[in-house]
Amino acid sequence: MANEIPFLSPLGVVVVATLPPSPVKGSTVVLDTDGHLYTFDGSAWIDNGAAGGGGGGGTSTRVTLTPPAGTKRQYTQNVTIAGVTASSNLFCTLVPNDDFDADELEDLVLRVTPLAGSADFTILRDGPLGGNILAAYTVI
């Protein structure tokens, strides 16, 4: 698929409302308020700019993906995103919630395919896909 970036392992980057007060060197998060990727260098948080790099950016937007009961292995949900084209770049990550904590999110793979005015969010998992899955994206 066009503009799909498959990752061989989960990135482990979470979206947070505020920068964690007690990080360890190398901790990396996306700050929800500005959509920027921050890395802790051992003494301070470093603002790496818009999540995903490459300039541009905006704020992070959250979307809830809701597979129907009984869905197994794969679920795709189309999400309307104003201004997105098939050649747009999106930085996306899964966000822990009441249905999926950070450990459970490691079992999921998120693939996002930009289209004209929307994007297909596809969740893959070996096994059932019940509950709400929260994802955050930034158009970069």
Q: Based on the number of CB atoms within 10 Å of its own CB, is 19 exposed (0-12), middle (13-18) or buried (19 or more)?
A: middle
Specify the residue for token string 């292995």: 73
H-only helix segments in 20-123: 102-105
Spatial separation of the C-alpha atoms in residues 2 and 112, rounded to whole Å: 10
pLDDT band at 102 (very low <50, low <70, confident <90, very high): confident
pLDDT value at residue 59:
64
pLDDT value at residue 36:
79
| Averaged pLDDT of the chain | 81
Q: How many helices (H) and strands (E) does the chain have?
A: 1, 10
Domain positions in the chain are: 14-139
Q: Is the pTM of this model over 0.85?
A: no
Spatial separation of the C-alpha atoms in residues 85 and 4, rounded to whole Å: 13
pLDDT digits (tens, 9 = 90+) for 28-72: 788 878 777 788 888 888 887 765 444 444 567 889 999 998 899
Longest distance between any two alpha carbons in the chain, whole Å: 47
- Token digits of residue 95: 């966000």
